[in-house]
Chain A
Amino acid sequence: MNELNLTTAWRDPEVARGLLARIERTVAGYRGEMTLMEVCGTHTMAIYQHGIRALLPETIRLISGPGCPVCVTPVDYVDHAVALVRRPDTIITTFGDMVRVPGSSSSLLHEQARGAQIRIVYSPLDAVALAARNPDKQVVFLGVGFETTTPTVAGAILVAEKQGLTNFSVLGSHKTMPAPMAALTNDPELQVDGYICPAHVSTIIGVNAYRPLVEQCRVPCVVTGFEPLDMLRGIEMLARQVVEGRAEVENEYSRVVKPDGNPKARRILETVFEPCDATWRGIGTIPGSGLKIRTEYADYNAIRKLPVSVEKPVEHTGCQCGEILKGKVRPGDCPLFRTACTPENPVGACMVSSEGTCAAEYKYGNIS
């Protein structure tokens, strides 16, 4: 059997109708509204892509949290990348979305139009290969992402070390889950009744990673897959926990996510990276929520290796990305949405990234 057929199997309309009816029954009689937050950009996209929000009973309110790695990256990181690529000997390599994120006064896309060398890659190993082919250039990979991609960045550094490359480095802004979920649960202005926990991140960190959060914050968590039937099942499991007053970690995506995640990937990650405090756009600094390159691998850390002067960061006035990332504001409530801020001319990262809440609302949300 072609394993790719699995995507179709998880979109069956009959089963979807059954799950929607079950959700209705689960929340029937529940007083008030329950707020469920997804903290993964792919979930944000899936909710819009399949039109899930409008299919749910009014009791359930879905909000998007800080799950898009590009969106939570602070503006000074973009400024740093811009400063690096202005060095004549430097090639910046990155996953696609980062090039369009506006910095304080420029973006990588603008720099590219002015002649800077920027390459989109699908894997950090492509950046290592590029460094091997260009020994007279410094090749910097923009390491932005959660635990899903960080092991591959760690792997790339180990490969570069093995090959003896001295012209490959990483500008890191790696973040981890579930630290921001605890921060948001403790935010008095925000009432999150349950988390749709990320799928890809959980394949690495495992279901057990959410246990301390659940125990400390008493908030229901369900690790959920990306296909529409996964989403509906995950939402039903969460709603049931809320209705029954339970707070547990459950795993809807057990066909992929294991209790202990992927220990091998974590070992590779921990060889190269160590925990650090990290700044999340819109949320601020969360202790222990980031990963930095260990001093043993400082030769592969662009911050240490290629010093540049970075302009003072300027956040764009009026942009509500920060509040949107906390789920406090919906894209339509931002005065810039669809007017000053569009995918062609994005003001904030939430409109740039293909996983951003504003981009999703812009792309799929105009249905009323």
Chain B
Amino acid sequence: MNPDIILLGHGSGGKLSHQLLDDIIIPALSGVAPEQQNDAAVLPAVDGELAFTTDSYVVDPIFFPGGNIGDLAVNGTVNDLAMAGAEPVAISVGLILEEGLAITELRKVLESMRQAADAAGVKIVTGDTKVVPRGKGDKIFINTAGIGRIPAGRKIGGNAAKPGDKVLINGAIGDHGMAVLASREGLELNSDIETDSAALNDLVEALFTACGEDLHVLRDPTRGGVATTLREIAGQSRVDITLDETALPIHESVRGACAILGLDPLFVANEGKLLAIVTADRAEPALQAMRRHPAGGEAAIIGEVSAVSSGRVLMRTTIGGLRAIEMLAGEQLPRIC
């Protein structure tokens, strides 16, 4: 009889390991036939520069409204590649499973990974699975790494923001962090907030088409949120960035939940958002390109690069005041991705 939970033996390298790989993991993720399996994936040569990234996912709980750790892990790495201007080519998946994890839960996570990879047009080409004793992990941890191809002529980076540039975001802020938080035990927030987890590589292509070289910076505001990401950009580019509070797209449910818990949505994680900094004259075309895209319906121009300085982020508040935005000292919400 096949066990219905993960056992230590599934990580032994023996018979149970092979069963887990051949019956569940490989069919779900890549579908590579056993006779074609080797120690490493071999990829075709590509022209030009490569982008390479890795990220680990430890979100708690592993299932939350609108997604789970599986699609998060694929989208996160696809987006890290996209933010470097790269078209994702291939990703790897490392699974660390806790003894006792229900096989049905593992299947659900793997299915989500496959669906997310298909949606992003990227192949899962290699992977690894380990099992740790009960209590030494937390259900499932996932590492993904990815390789992408950067088309010739793309020059973007956190140090490329210039005074006068506009700051855009492709939609509402803080959904992912609050969706995860609302689904944690002990917090009875009856909310309809869902994660925004999504692959952004196609949206990035649309932005390059709309802006070309006038697209200066791309970043996804994940951990630390929009505020932290903009602080990083302001520091790298040695500019001030001033946000307009009235322009920030924030769902009322997120605003309310943040108000109750004393959190600032600007610091809450997103998993399907990007910040784009473009020249002022390309801001409107970039905005239209975002809004035409399924991942950018609520896009907005939220601020501008205001001056050359040491790297501050300021906010013009709703009532016309001005305040600074600093990085958080500690984590506002631990284990959100």
Give CA–CA (A7, B326) in the complex, Å. Answer: 23
A67 CB, nearest partner CB in chain B, Å: 15
Query: Do A228 and B318 have beta carbons less than 8 Å apart?
Result: yes
Are A122 and B317 within 8 A (Cβ)? no
> Is residue B255 contacting chain A, with contact meaning CB distance below 8 A?
yes
Q: Which of B's residues lie within 8 Å of A, judged by CB?
A: 186-187, 246, 252-253, 255-257, 259, 261-262, 312, 314-315, 317-326, 328-330
In the bound complex, residues from chain B placing their C-beta under 8 Å from that of A365 are 323-324
CB contact between A122 and one of B186, B320, B324 (< 8 Å): that residue: B186
> Dominant SS at the A interface?
helix
User: Do A17 and B320 touch (CB < 8 A)?
Assistant: yes
- Whether A367 contacts B187 by the Cβ 8 Å rule is no
Q: A121 contacts which of B186, B312, B314, B330 (Cβ < 8 Å)?
A: B186
Which residues from A are CB-within-8-Å of B187? 122
The closest CB in chain B to the CB of A344 belongs to B329
Complex Cα–Cα for A68 and B321 (A) = 23
A343 sits at the interface (CB 8 A): yes
Q: With A7-B259, A121-B186, A344-B329 in contact, do A366 and B252 touch (Cβ < 8 Å)?
A: no
* Most chain A beta carbons < 10 A, residue from B262, B320, B321, B328: B321
For A367, what are the chain B residues with a Cβ–Cβ distance below 8 Å?
A: 314, 322-324
Question: What's the Cα separation between A363 and B262 when bound, in Å?
Answer: 15
CB distance A363 to B317 under 8 Å?
Answer: no
B252–A50 CB distance below 8 A: no
Interface residues on A, range: 35 or more
> Which one of B256, B319, B325 contacts A11 once the chains associate, using CB atoms below 8 Å?
B319
A4: chain B residues at CB < 8 Å are 252-253, 255-257, 259
Assembled-state Cα–Cα distance A247/B187 (Å): 43
Q: What residues of chain A lie closer than 8 Å to B324, measured between beta carbons?
A: 363-367
Docked pose: A20 CA to B318 CA in angstroms: 13
CB distance from A95 to the nearest CB of B (A): 10
Known: A343-B328, A367-B322. 20 other contacts (CB 8 A): A4-B257, A4-B259, A5-B252, A8-B255, A11-B318, A12-B318, A13-B246, A13-B318, A16-B319, A20-B319, A51-B323, A52-B321, A53-B321, A100-B330, A121-B186, A228-B317, A344-B329, A344-B330, A362-B326, A367-B324
- For chain A, residues 67 to 122, give those with C-beta under 8 angstroms from any C-beta of chain B: 100, 121-122
Cβ-defined contact, A51 with B322, below 8 A: yes
Is the CB–CB distance between A366 and B317 below 8 Å?
A: no
Q: Which residues of A contact B320 (CB under 8 A)?
A: 13, 16-17, 20, 51, 55
Query: Does residue A342 face the partner (Cβ distance < 8 Å to B)?
Result: yes
What residues of A have a CB within 8 angstroms of the CB of B312 in the complex?
366
30 contacts between A and B (CB under 8 A): A2-B253, A2-B256, A4-B252, A4-B253, A4-B259, A7-B255, A13-B246, A13-B319, A16-B319, A16-B320, A48-B323, A49-B323, A50-B321, A51-B315, A51-B317, A51-B319, A51-B320, A51-B321, A51-B322, A54-B322, A228-B317, A228-B319, A343-B328, A344-B329, A362-B326, A363-B324, A363-B325, A364-B324, A364-B326, A366-B312
**Hey, which chain B residues are within 8 Å of A7, CB to CB?**
255-256, 259
For the complex of A and B, list the 9 residue pairs with the smallest distance between their C-beta atoms, beginning with the closest: A51-B321, A4-B256, A343-B329, A16-B319, A366-B324, A364-B323, A11-B318, A51-B323, A50-B317
Measured between beta carbons, the chain B residues less than 8 angstroms from A53 are 321
Cβ of A102 to closest chain B Cβ, rounded Å:
14
Taking the closest CB of chain A, its distance from the CB of B148, in whole angstroms, is: 34
Kindly identify, within residues 1 to 40 of chain A, every residue whose CB is under 8 Å from any CB belonging to chain B: 2, 4-5, 7-8, 11-13, 16-17, 20
List, in ascending order, chain A residues with CB within 8 A of B186's CB.
121-122, 126
* Closest B residue to A42 using CB positions: B262
Q: How far is the CB of A113 from chain B (nearest CB, A)?
A: 13
| B262 and A2 within 8 A (CB) | no
Query: In the docked arrangement, what's the CA distance between A111 and B246, Å?
Result: 43
CA distance A367 to B242 in the complex (A): 11
Is residue A44 within 8 Å, beta carbon to beta carbon, of the partner chain? no
